[in-house]
Amino acid sequence: MGQAEGVTLRLLVWHVHGSWTASFVRGRHDYLVPLLPEGGPWGRGHCGRDWPNAREVDPAGLRDADIDVVVLQRPDEIDLTERWTGRRPGRDVPAVFVEHNTPTGDVPRTRHPLADQDAIPIAHVTHFNHLVWDCGHAPTTVVEHGVVDPGGLYTGDRAAIGLVMNEPVRRGRAVGTDLLPAFAEVAPLHVWGIGADRLTGHFDLGERLRPQGDLGQDALHAGLARCRVYLHTPRWTSLGLSLIEAMHLGMPVVAVDSTEASRAVSPGAGVVSADVGALVRAVRELLADPELAHRMGKQAREHALANYGLDAFLRNWDALLDRVTSGGGA
């Protein structure tokens, strides 16, 4: 039987993507997050985040733990769950696989690691990912992102461009790192994210490049909201939650038209184009016209609240978990 209205499930879920997990664990359920002494990819725990509904658990105690659903995010977690709990996801315990990423390699024909099985449904975080992954006959669905609303903090008092880029030097063209010099000619680039400081050794942009570090969400949002415009440069990554957060802040958005960007940014909320010259011109116009920037930012916030709000995200996940626990798949 499926879960009744208001029933709390016990979910095993790894801390893989902090922003996504921060939203996911704000539901009504009991979230078990593995913690290992050495941390690492399989045992990060909370990492100091305020997640009241999530409990850090020692994997050694999972064999006797009551687990209603395993929320998988990496293929290796299937075998890891069996080793830690003695139960095979999809066979001995219900499971769902969250696909956060776009495929790599021969993209039109890239097979998903869970393709052609029917025991574990695949939940894509964007419609674009759902389109481009070849999942064979595996059950699939889409549960779009939702974020905790940081509030309409936008002031835009700095004539600067705000970006959030994790590991921009290593990821290079995938996240549009090579595009930064063209925008730096227009205004200073304030860049937040993991490894953003390495950009200073990658480009010689002087004072035009201003890495801000990898900050907590409150500090990130406060600093980002002072920038006049948010720039989204990825060519080939799944939709970054930082883009949705920037729209929640009330920032106007200028985005490379790739993957899910055209769906995420509504007309009037920003400019989306594959023409880099057009994007540079849009940034220049917004920098020169604060009133226009505020109008577009207001529309961006309204669109984000309506389409990427936390309540809808959690309702959609509850509906999927109900289907998974009742044996209905995706």
Which two structure tokens, joined as six digits, stand for 125?
Answer: 């975080």
Q: What is the pLDDT of residues 304-318, one digit of tens each?
A: 999 999 999 999 999
Task: Please check the confidence at residue 15 and state whether its pLDDT lies above 80.
Answer: yes
pLDDT of the residue at 6:
66
Tell me which CATH code domain 158-307 carries.
3.40.50.2000
Please, are residues 253 and 243 in contact by the beta-carbon 8 Å criterion? yes
Residue 264 CB-half CA count within 13 A: 33
Q: What is the pLDDT of residues 214-260, one digit of tens each?
A: 888 899 999 999 999 999 999 999 998 999 999 999 999 999 999 99
Q: What is the DSSP string of 63-88?
A: GGS--SEEEE-STHHHHHHHHHHS--
Domain map of the chain by residue range? 10-146+309-325, 158-307
Task: Please check the confidence at residue 116 and state whether its pLDDT lies above 90.
Answer: no
**CA–CA separation, 306 and 264 (whole Å):** 11
Residue 213 confidence class, pLDDT cut points 50, 70, 90: confident
Task: Please check the confidence at residue 45 and state whether its pLDDT lies above 50.
Answer: yes
Q: What is the pLDDT of residues 154-193, one digit of tens each?
A: 999 999 999 999 999 999 999 999 999 999 999 999 999 9
Coarse DSSP helix, strand, coil percentages of the chain, rounded to the nearest 5 percent? 40, 20, 40
Share of the chain above pLDDT 70, in %: 98
Average pLDDT of the residues of the chain = 94
Please, are residues 145 and 164 in contact by the beta-carbon 8 Å criterion? no
Which positions ≥6 away from 206 have C-beta within 8 Å? Answer: none
Which two structure tokens, joined as six digits, stand for 96?
Answer: 């769902």
Closest CA to 208 of 187, 180, 179, 233: 187
Task: Please check the confidence at residue 292 and state whether its pLDDT lies above 80.
Answer: yes
Q: What is the DSSP string of 93-105?
A: B-EEEEE-S---S
pLDDT of the residue at 1:
37
Question: What are the residues facing 89 on neighbouring strands?
Answer: 93
Residue 5 confidence class, pLDDT cut points 50, 70, 90: low
Task: Return the CATH number of 10-146+309-325, one of 3.40.50, 2.40.50, 2.40.10, 1.10.150.
Answer: 3.40.50
pLDDT of the residue at 134:
96
Nearest-5° angle of CA 196, CA 302, CA 315? Answer: 90
Q: What is the pLDDT of residues 138-157, one digit of tens each?
A: 999 999 999 999 999 999 99
Share of the chain above pLDDT 90, in %: 86
Q: Answer whether 10-146+309-325 and 158-307 agree in fold.
A: yes
